[in-house]
Structure formats: C-alpha cells, structure tokens
Chains A and B, each alone.
Chain A
Amino acid sequence: MDSNNLFLVLGALIFVVGATGVLLRRNALIIFMCVEMMLNSVNLSLITLSRMWGNLEGQIFVFVIMAVAAAEVAIGLAILIAHNRHVRNINIETLNLLRN
C-alpha cells in the first residue's frame, strides 16, 4: 500500500473514532476532545492531499483550521464554565434549557 493511502485511511479512521465518541459520551469535555480529534484527522487528510498534488494550498487550509479550532476551544470552554456555574455539572443531559 502506498504510504499516502495509509495516511488517508488513518485520517478516516480517526474521524470515525471521534464521531463515535461524540455520540457515545455524555461528558461535555470529552465530547469537546473528540471534536478536536475530528478536526485533526481532517488536517492530516488535507496535508496528505497537499503532498499528493504537490502544492501548499492544503497546508494553508490546515493553518486556517488550526486557528478556527483554537477559537472554538476558547468559546466552547467558556460556555462550559458558564453552564457549570448554573447547573453544577457538565453532563449534556442537563443541557435542555430550550426544551420547554
């Protein structure tokens, strides 16, 4: 197997593991980490494709994705802390304020 294909398959596998984790876990922090992992697996695919096509555009995309991930983490963790101040836990089962 060509090593480029190996990296693409690895990216797909890590993405699947992350998506399963988002569905499986009830702890908001772990769901957060799984989302980060999914972003990272896409980064790996983009870097591999960038090498296959022989230009740097994929790497620029990855740079932008890293910035978006950093912004997402900052806001998301702030929301978690604000939520935790009201409800005293971070189980996503308690995130039902919009239900009624």
Chain B
Amino acid sequence: MSVFAFLIGALSLAAAIGVVISAKPVHSALFLMANFATLAILYVLLDAQFLAAAQVIIYAGGIVILILFVIMLIGHDPADRSQQVTWPAVASLVLGVILLASLVLQLTGRLELGGGGGIASGGSPSAVGTELFTRFLLPFEFVAILLLVALIGALIMGRRESGEPVEEPVG
C-alpha cells in the first residue's frame, strides 16, 4: 500500500504544481480536478470512504465545474503574465521556500507521534453520519445556516444593479 500511496501522492503534488505554473486558467482548473481526484483516492486509503465520495461530488463535481463556468464567462486574462514584474515573483518564491523550511523544521522530530492507528468502524457513511447527528448535531445545523447565507449572498453579489446598463456582448 505504501508504494501505491507514494505514487498517488506524487501525482497529486505534480498536479498541484501544475495548477500554479499553467499559463491558462483552464489548464489550471483541469490540474485542480486531477489534484482533487488523487486526494480522493488517498482518502479511501485513509479509512475515509464517505469523505472520498464527498470530495469527488463537492470538489470535482461542484467547485471545479463552477470555476470552469466562471472561466467561460470571464475568459482568459492576457495581461496575467506580461504585466508581471520580476521582483514580486522572486519575493513570493523566497517566501514559499521560507514557509517550506519552517514546516520542515517543525515536522522533523515530531513525526513519531502515532503508528498505524486505524478507526475501528472506518469512515463509512453510517459511522460518520451517526457521529454527525449525535455528538456534532449543532455544528451540522450551523453548516446548514452558513450554506443558506452563502447562497443568498452569492445571489445578491451576482445580481446586476437596477441602474446598471445591460452589457454589450464582447467580440
């Protein structure tokens, strides 16, 4: 299992790097979908079957599709690369390396904290559901309210103001 996990993890990391370095947003979105899919495979390996299914449905099926629709509406921004000055790019790379170094420093020496472990009932939908509707019922209800508020907020944000002119089709 470890070799398989290593391969899938390497694929996931490669897709993550692809998201950052792709020139076109569409390619980034497709790499993002690859990243989400490989992470879902890792979730199955980690006894989280319910979350793997939720990952595929919510992220790959919902969020990436939403992002692709927005790319379709807004389109490609040709100024993304050309306007870029070089020193902010260098500074951000340096900051990324500093973040990586601090994480490595924190992680080394502390990684012995747990061996195999494993959840007795696994992360099956019934186990997660039982936990969710007994001990974590109140957070679950708050999640419902949050999603409702987000829905209304997105509706208000996306609506055209009454005084605004109807936009002409471009191109």
Footprint of B on A, CB under 8 Å? 2-10, 12-21, 23-27, 29-30, 32-34, 36-37, 40, 43-44, 47-57, 59-60, 62-64, 66-75, 77-82, 84-85, 89-91, 93
**B9–A54 touching, CB < 8 Å:** no
Given A6-B6, A47-B48, A70-B147, also A63-B115 (CB < 8 A):
no
Dominant SS among interface residues on chain B? helix
Known: A9-B111, A56-B121. 20 other contacts (CB 8 A): A6-B9, A13-B100, A17-B13, A25-B20, A26-B83, A37-B19, A44-B43, A52-B114, A59-B51, A64-B139, A66-B59, A67-B147, A69-B58, A69-B59, A73-B67, A74-B66, A74-B153, A75-B153, A77-B70, A91-B79
Inter-chain residue pair count (beta carbon < 8 A): 241
Given A20-B20, A20-B93, A63-B132, also A29-B67 (CB < 8 A):
yes
**A27–B123 touching, CB < 8 Å:** no
**B9–A7 touching, CB < 8 Å:** yes
**A6–B80 touching, CB < 8 Å:** no
Number of interface residues of B (CB under 8 A): 87
Q: Which residues of B lie under 8 Å from residue A33 when comparing CB positions?
A: 19, 28-29, 32, 67
| Nearest-neighbor residue (CB-CB) of B69 within chain A | A77
**B46–A89 touching, CB < 8 Å:** no
**A37–B35 touching, CB < 8 Å:** yes
| Nearest-neighbor residue (CB-CB) of A4 within chain B | B114
Q: Which residues of A lie under 8 Å from residue B96 when comparing CB positions?
A: 16-17, 19-20, 23-24
Contact of A37 among B5, B16, B71, B118 (CB under 8 A): B16
